[in-house]
Structure 1
Amino acid sequence: MSSHIGWSHPVESGGQWDGFNDSGIETFKGNPIVSLGREITQNSRDSVLDEKLPVRIEFNLFDLDVATIPDIQGLRNNISVCQEFAKNSGARAEQFFNDATKLLSKKKVSVLKISDYNTKGIMGPCEHGTPYFAFMKASGESVKSSDIAGGSFGIGKNAPYAVSELRTLFVSTAFKNSKGEVEQFFQAKSILMSHKHKRKTHRGQGYWGNTKDCMPISDSSEVPEWLRRPIAEDGSVELGTSLYVLGFTKPKNWEERLTSSIVSNFFGAITEGKLEVEING
């Protein structure tokens, strides 16, 4: 893997400090599984590719070898540094980073993979004004692919972090650019807390990908196989998005609660054949 790929938390030069209690995540802490089902499904439906076919979403829980997490040592180091600063940030923060450290010392970690099909993917490039930038980089902002799309306040994208014991999400998306060419973006994001390293303050939000300007990777050969989108029958990559919730919290009866959330919020779309959802199928 190239040396320019890894984890990076941008340097904060304005004297600001990102505390552990992130408002975007806290919004969904009350009922995280219900929120996950609602927000994820809405995002996929807002990006439908062919209106004549149903959007399909698959939720699958699996155990991932910790050693296969890209730049795992970089992630461990980030958690470790935050762990030191969390000692002065309250019991919740301290407990979170203690638990995260223990989790990453194990051989395997639970991952919830959420993949959608018959969607346009999260369209780039990674610059202000695009859906990809809004999803990965912007706060309180949403750029949808249609004027009638729901969830316009850009908050729902934080729902997956509320069910991650590491507050870390890997993203793999394939979309058509303005020239009609298929592009792929691979990136991860952690929402931790500000910390200091080598006398410099670093932001709480960090990214795995191209370390220069925290940009996504576009070459699938530079990412592990588990992170890649499937290949369609015609040999091209399947358009759409896969999210990987690292360290899924596995709440009690999460499958039943997730099913209930999706059915209650999208009953019409399901009965009309516009939405198909599979949970640990």
Structure 2
Amino acid sequence: MDTESFGDWLGRQLRRQGMSQAELATQINVTRAAVSAWVTNRAEPQMNKIQLIESVLGLSSGSVVSRQEPGTSAEALTWYHRPAHDDGGREFGNAAAFAFDSDLSVLAREATQNSMDERLENDEPVRVRHILDEIEGERLYDFLEALRWNEIEPHVDAAALADNKVGRILADGLKGLRQTGRLLLLRIDDYNAAGLTGPDYDDGRFAAVTRRQLESRKQGEGAGGSYGLGKATFWATSRLGFVLINSTLSEPHQGRTANRMFGRLELPWHRAVGGEWSGPAWFGEPDPERGNVTRSWWGDDETAERLLLKRDGSAPGTSFLIIGAHDPSGDADDLESMHEALVKGLASSFWAAMVAPSQQRPMLEASVVARRNGVVVIPEERIDPDVHEPTRSRALRAFLEGRTVSEPTTRDDVVQVSVPLQVPPLKSAGKAPAVTHDAVLLLAQDDTTPRRPSRLVCMRSSRMVVMDRGVPDLPIGVDPFQAVLLAGEAVGVDAPGAKEAEQFLRTAEPPEHNDWKRTDDLVTSYARGAASSIRNFRAAMLEEVRRALRPSEQQNGDGPASLTGLLDLGGSRSQGGGLRYPVVDDVEGNIDADGAWHVRAEVRLPAKDDAWLLTPVLRFATRSGPKPEARWAQLVPESHCELTAEGALLFAAGARKAAFSGISDVSSHPVAARMAIAEIDLQHVKESAE
């Protein structure tokens, strides 16, 4: 809570209005000495004088008691440009913006990570909304007028003349604005977040985001960011280097919480308007106590509306408006492709944060919408993890609901195994012992025919995906799968060693937060062996994946225990959990003395009245590449199906289950049956028109 004294508050109000203590004394009929005593906190006025002070200063009733800062009129807003350094030093761009390759997916990742790190109520999700809005005509002119574009345009023009990367981006942004008469905005809102709390200049969230570089205020072990680089992606995504901010605070500053507004323009060094300028500029209220640099202001709803920054409701959080938004990678260049890029970026990095057990809310809810002049052209799409990552989401939900198994008995089972992580002591802890933490590895068969099957993703407390990698040297014939590794507090805040592992892994992440590896911070913070511990952990997780997928040895000497790795038609399950296509449900098999497979398969059929014409295909699994087929020597329909002249099976209309058996043609085997794993695939047959 704000603890500002009456004297400090009154002195600031007098300076804001350019009023002396003597002038106030005259207007409220007290001595100058009395006002001096108030300002220096040696005394406080009586209630009748407090009411007079509010009237003279034009403040609302109760402002003196609440220490509430008055709002700022739009006419009082202006720009402050930082003068060039007297020592001749020049910066031709913000180095933090080039710390890693930037595109819309990186922006979505960094912005959402920051929002999750500031989550306020743990039993409610952080709500993040991305709004693309292309404006033109009167809406554009009114917007540019509200942000005093005429005051900064000469500076942007001058900076765009620089023959460097930043200058070329600015020139391209200005050209697009002037030739098309349109401006693309990207607004990122978060709710149930702390907001930009703290003073304008001293330590706090506000100053860290708007005034400082490479400062992270995230001190908890579970925080995603730690370098203070993520905020630079906002400005890197603007062709004009321009971001406006509106924040609703979780704790009052100057007696207020709503509509704390500010703007920052990130330019390189340039000459303009009769001087040399360092580059950065800030949009706000002039601060006479700081030589008229600009500070944040308390706006009203009308100003927020004109600046396209009016927030929905009163929930704490922050809105960032990126002006002249673009995809720095060049891959997305219109509303439709940018909308798609944001959706994919959010889904790939944060699907796990959007998964929750039944009857509980997730950690995160995220959506993307696109507009033109405020009119929706692409409806708001809320990211659904079960649509974008169905297998991984199923695996994580099984863990959260306590439904994992150690050995699978059905295709839908999620296997859980442990991966040990040895956390060495911090150097500051002296000779403290290492801590063992058991990370959780989840494996699920992938029935969704993804573009990138058989991969491992890793995460910690916020459940943002840190690593996404393939698994080499898999056993021959392994079915497509997805593996999810949870470490640190993602296992559970009370899990043994979770806190230590969380801090250790956070220290092992590079600025991009996309790996766990040796970093300078890791080796300087932890005792000897920290880098080896990370390498061993990475190796152990891959080995545990391979071990869990390795087929069990045959006990009766008749070849593989069964036809493992059964394939069904891609996308066989609907989003609601029902079948869309027939699926092989159960198979029994053995190899006879001649080396032929004898199999019996049961098939589950969708709840439809139509008949299904399908061809059972017998495949021999190989380590990589296509799985060669073997022919059937004999195919026998057993129940609810019949064999056609072409060798396909016609499954009866309305049947829910069927069965067939078959014997493989040994002469067509690509390898000996005992040296491979067989799989059955059901392929749809198109009936020819008569």
Closer, same or farther: CA 217–95 of 1 in aligned 2, 3 Å: same
CA distance in 1, matches of 2:258, 2:98: 33
The equivalent residue for 2:323 is 246
Structure 2 letter corresponding to 1:78: H
- Partner SS for 1:78: helix
CA distance in 1, matches of 2:207, 2:182: 31
The equivalent residue for 2:268 is 193
Correspondence 1:98-177 to 2 at 5 A: 98-105=171-178, 106-144=180-218, 146=220, 148-177=222-251
Structure 2 letter corresponding to 1:206: A
Contact between 1:185 and 1:218, CA under 8 Å: does it hold in 2?
Answer: yes
Contact between 2:102 and 2:236, CA under 8 Å: does it hold in 1?
Answer: no
CA distance in 2, matches of 1:162, 1:170: 14
CA distance in 2, matches of 1:222, 1:146: 37
Say whether 1:278 aligns with 2:367: yes
Aligned Cα root-mean-square deviation (Å): 2.4
Provide the TM-score with structure 1 as the length reference. 0.86
Flag structure 2 segments of 5+ consecutive residues without an equivalent: 1-72, 287-291, 357-361, 370-379, 381-690
Counterpart pick for 1:96 among 160, 169, 188: 169
The equivalent residue for 1:184 is 259
The equivalent residue for 2:95 is 23
Structure 2 letter corresponding to 1:33: L
Deviation at 1:93, TM superposition (A): 4.4
Structure 2 letter corresponding to 1:274: M
The equivalent residue for 1:46 is 117
- Partner SS for 1:182: coil
Contact between 2:92 and 2:166, CA under 8 Å: does it hold in 1?
Answer: no
CA distance in 1, matches of 2:276, 2:84: 6
Contact between 2:184 and 2:325, CA under 8 Å: does it hold in 1?
Answer: yes
- Structure with the bigger RCO (C-alpha within 8 Å, sep 6+) is 1
Closer, same or farther: CA 49–93 of 1 in aligned 2, 3 Å: closer
Answer with 103-112 or 121-130: which moved more: 103-112
The equivalent residue for 1:220 is 300
CA distance in 2, matches of 1:126, 1:148: 27
Deviation at 1:196, TM superposition (A): 2.4
Say whether 1:12 aligns with 2:84: yes
Structure 2 letter corresponding to 1:228: K
CA distance in 2, matches of 1:145, 1:215: 26
- % identical equivalent positions: 23
Contact between 1:12 and 1:203, CA under 8 Å: does it hold in 2?
Answer: yes
Contact between 2:301 and 2:310, CA under 8 Å: does it hold in 1?
Answer: no
- Partner SS for 1:124: coil
- Partner SS for 2:354: helix
Contact between 2:244 and 2:262, CA under 8 Å: does it hold in 1?
Answer: yes
The equivalent residue for 1:262 is 346
- Partner SS for 2:83: coil
Structure 1 letter corresponding to 2:363: K
Deviation at 1:135, TM superposition (A): 0.4
Q: For 1:229-248, what per-residue CA distance to the aligned partner results, in whole angstroms no more than 9, with x for missing partners? A: 22x3xxxx332111111111
CA distance in 2, matches of 1:52, 1:245: 30
CA distance in 2, matches of 1:109, 1:199: 29
Counterpart pick for 2:311 among 214, 222, 229: 229
Q: For 1:3-47, what per-residue CA distance to the aligned partner results, in whole angstroms no more than 9, with x for missing partners? A: 541222111343221114x3211224x342221111111111111
Instruction: Decide which structure has the larger Cα Rg and report it.
Output: 2
- Partner SS for 1:37: helix
CA distance in 2, matches of 1:126, 1:228: 21
Contact between 2:354 and 2:364, CA under 8 Å: does it hold in 1?
Answer: yes
CA distance in 2, matches of 1:93, 1:122: 27
Closer, same or farther: CA 222–17 of 1 in aligned 2, 3 Å: farther
Provide the TM-score with structure 2 as the length reference. 0.37
Closer, same or farther: CA 146–175 of 1 in aligned 2, 3 Å: farther
Q: For 1:195-251, what per-residue CA distance to the aligned partner results, in whole angstroms no more than 9, with x for missing partners? A: 124553212111111242221112326734122222x3xxxx332111111111154
Contact between 1:33 and 1:258, CA under 8 Å: does it hold in 2?
Answer: yes
Contact between 1:172 and 1:184, CA under 8 Å: does it hold in 2?
Answer: yes
Deviation at 1:171, TM superposition (A): 0.9
Structure 1 letter corresponding to 2:342: L
Q: For 1:140-173, what per-residue CA distance to the aligned partner results, in whole angstroms no more than 9, with x for missing partners? A: 1011375532201110001122221112111111
Contact between 1:121 and 1:175, CA under 8 Å: does it hold in 2?
Answer: yes
- Partner SS for 1:263: helix
CA distance in 2, matches of 1:56, 1:145: 22
The equivalent residue for 1:55 is 126
CA distance in 1, matches of 2:211, 2:260: 14
CA distance in 1, matches of 2:105, 2:151: 32
Q: For 1:113-148, what per-residue CA distance to the aligned partner results, in whole angstroms no more than 9, with x for missing partners? A: 111111121212212310110001011101137553
Say whether 1:72 aligns with 2:149: yes
For these two proteins, the number of residue pairs brought into alignment is 270
Structure 2 letter corresponding to 1:275: L
Counterpart pick for 1:204 among 269, 272, 279: 279
Structure 2 letter corresponding to 1:139: Q
The equivalent residue for 1:83 is 160
Contact between 2:264 and 2:281, CA under 8 Å: does it hold in 1?
Answer: yes
Contact between 2:132 and 2:339, CA under 8 Å: does it hold in 1?
Answer: no
